[in-house]
C-alpha cells in the first residue's frame, strides 16, 4: 500500500505498482466470480475481469434486454451465462450488482446460496448500511467486501479499453476468512481500477448519495435550470442561454478543469472572467452550504434511503418516472440542447470529410 498526499493529508491507497494484476490473479485463482445483474455496473466489471483473465460467469434473468446484451457481449448460455439462481449457486465470489431495489427483492434467494466460505461483493454500501430497511444481513460465515468505481460501468469499460482505469473505493464489512482485505483489493484491480482508496460501507454510501443528489446530478441540473431561466427571462435567445450555460461548461471548461484543476482555469481565462468568478464563487458556496448540509443529514438519517425504497417499490413508479423524465426532455432547455448537439455532430462530420 502506498501513502499519497492529497491536499496536505496523507492517505493510504493501493496502486497497480504494489498490487499488480498478476498478484490479483493469484489471490483469486481458485474462485469463480459470479456477476449477478447485467445492468449498470455489471457489464463493465464482468467484461474487464474476463479480459484480465479471471474466471467470470454472469447471472441474469432470461428473456430480458440485459440477457440479450450479455449474449452480444460474448457470454455463452450454459457455460458463462446462467440464471440468477444458478450463477449465485456456482459462484464463490458473488457480486451483487443488481439495483438497490433488485437487491432487496432477491436477497432471500441470494442469502440461501451464500454457503460458508463464500464472498459477498457489492459496489454500493446501500443494502448493508441501511439493512434496517433493506433486510440485507449477510451470514456470519462469509466475507463481505466492496469495490465502488467512481463512475458509471460504461466509463469503467471505456477507460479500461483505452489502457487507463477509473479510481475506486474499497472496503471490508466482514472478514470471516481472514483474507477479505486481499480479496477486495484483488477484485478492485480485476475490474480495472486506476487506484484504490480505502473506506467503509457507511462512508461510501453517504458520500455517494450526497454526491449524486448534489454536485454530480441534482445540484448541477438545478443550477443549470436556474441560470438558463434567468437568461431567457432577461431577453436572451434559447441558443445563447444554452451555450452560455451548458455547452461551454461541458465541451470546454469541465474537461479542462478535470485535466488541470480550477486554479489553472482561473489563471487561463480573461481578466474579466477571472475576476468575476473569484468574486462570486464565495457567494455560491455560502448559498449552497446549508442545502448540502441538509442533504447530508437526510442521507445519514436514512430518510433518503427510505424515500428511495418507498418510491421505487410502488407499482406505478416506472410510468411516473417516465413522465418526470419526459418533462425534463421536453423542456425548452433540453430541446435546445438536442439541437445544439445535432449541430455539433454535423460539424464534426464535416471536419472528418475535410480531413
Show me where the domains of the chain are located.
Answer: 2-199, 214-346
DSSP per residue over 31-54, as a string? --EEEE--SSSHHHHHHHHHHTT-
2-199 CATH fold: Rossmann fold (3.40.50)
Residue range 146-167: mean pLDDT, rounded: 92
- Residue 248 marked ligand-binding: yes
Residue range 13-32: mean pLDDT, rounded: 95
Residue 349, pLDDT > 70, answer: no
- Residue 244 marked ligand-binding: yes
Higher pLDDT, 218 or 344: 218
- Residue 270 marked ligand-binding: yes
SS3 track for 206-271: HHHHHHHHCCCCHHHHHHHHHHHHHHHHCCCCHHHHHHHHHHHHHHHHHHHHHHHCHHHHHHCCCH
Strands (E), the chain: 2-6, 9-15, 33-36, 56-59, 81-82, 93-96, 119-122, 143-149, 166-174, 193-198
Q: 179 an active-site residue?
A: no
Residues near 2 by beta carbon (within 8 Å), at least 6 away in sequence: 12, 13, 14, 15, 17, 18
Q: What is the pLDDT of residue 168?
A: 95
CATH architecture of 214-346: Orthogonal Bundle (1.10)
Residue 335, pLDDT > 60, answer: yes
Residue range 133-144: mean pLDDT, rounded: 97
Give the pLDDT confidence of 303-319 residue by residue, as tens digits. 999 999 998 888 899 89
Give the pLDDT confidence of 162-220 residue by residue, as tens digits. 998 999 999 999 999 999 999 999 999 999 998 999 999 999 999 999 999 999 999 99
Residue 223, pLDDT > 90, answer: yes
- Residue 212 marked ligand-binding: yes
Q: Which of 124, 157, 183, 232 is catalytic?
A: 124
Residue 351, pLDDT > 60, answer: no
Q: What is the pLDDT of residue 4?
A: 86
Give the pLDDT confidence of 274-291 residue by residue, as tens digits. 999 999 999 999 999 999
Point out which residues pair with 144 in neighbouring strands: 120, 174
Task: Supply the pTM of this predicted model.
Answer: 0.90
Q: What is the pLDDT of residue 253?
A: 92
Q: What is the pLDDT of residue 354?
A: 59
Q: What is the pLDDT of residue 267?
A: 93
Amino acid at each position: 500500500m502506498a501513502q499519497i498526499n492529497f491536499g496536505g493529508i496523507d492517505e493510504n491507497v493501493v496502486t497497480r505498482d504494489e498490487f499488480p494484476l498478476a498478484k490479483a490473479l493469484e489471490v483469486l485463482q481458485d474462485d469463480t466470480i459470479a456477476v449477478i445483474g447485467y445492468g449498470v455496473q455489471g457489464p463493465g466489471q464482468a467484461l474487464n475481469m474476463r479480459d484480465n483473465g479471471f474466471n467470470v460467469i454472469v447471472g441474469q434473468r432470461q428473456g430480458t434486454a440485459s440477457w440479450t446484451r450479455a449474449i452480444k457481449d460474448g457470454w455463452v448460455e450454459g457455460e458463462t451465462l446462467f440464471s440468477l439462481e444458478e450463477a449465485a449457486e456456482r459462484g464463490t465470489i458473488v457480486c451483487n450488482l443488481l439495483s438497490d431495489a433488485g437487491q432487496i427483492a432477491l436477497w432471500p434467494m441470494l442469502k440461501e446460496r451464500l454457503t460458508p466460505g463464500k464472498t459477498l461483493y457489492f459496489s454500493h454500501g446501500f443494502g448493508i448500511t441501511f439493512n434496517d430497511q433493506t433486510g440485507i444481513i449477510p451470514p456470519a460465515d462469509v466475507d463481505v467486501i466492496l469495490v465502488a468505481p467512481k463512475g458509471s460501468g460504461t466509463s469503467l469499460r471505456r477507460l479500461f479499453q483505452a489502457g487507463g482505469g477509473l479510481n475506486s473505493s474499497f472496503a471490508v464489512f466482514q472478514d470471516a476468512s481472514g483474507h477479505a482485505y486481499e480479496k477486495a483489493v484483488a477484485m478492485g484491480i480485476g475490474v480495472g481500477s486506476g487506484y484504490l482508496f480505502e473506506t467503509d460501507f457507511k462512508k461510501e454510501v453517504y458520500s455517494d448519495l450526497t454526491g449524486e443528489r448534489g454536485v454530480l446530478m441534482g445540484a448541477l441540473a438545478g443550477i443549470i435550470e436556474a441560470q438558463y431561466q434567468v437568461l431567457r427571462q432577461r431577453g436572451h435567445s434559447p441558443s445563447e442561454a444554452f451555450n452560455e450555460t451548458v455547452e461551454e461548461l461541458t465541451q470546454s471548461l469541465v474537461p479542462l478543469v478535470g485535466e488541470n484543476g480550477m486554479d489553472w482555469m482561473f489563471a487561463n481565462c480573461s481578466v474579466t472572467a477571472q475576476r468575476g468568478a473569484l468574486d462570486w464563487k464565495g457567494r455560491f458556496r455560502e448559498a449552497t452550504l446549508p442545502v448540502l448540509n441538509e442533504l447530508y443529514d437526510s442521507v445519514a438519517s436514512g430518510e433518503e434511503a427510505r424515500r428511495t425504497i418507498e418510491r421505487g417499490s410502488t407499482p406505478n413508479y416506472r410510468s411516473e418516472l417516465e413522465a418526470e423524465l419526459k418533462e425534463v426532455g421536453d423542456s425548452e432547455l433540453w430541446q435546445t440542447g438536442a439541437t445544439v448537439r445535432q449541430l455539433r455532430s454535423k460539424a464534426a462530420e464535416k471536419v472528418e470529410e475535410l480531413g
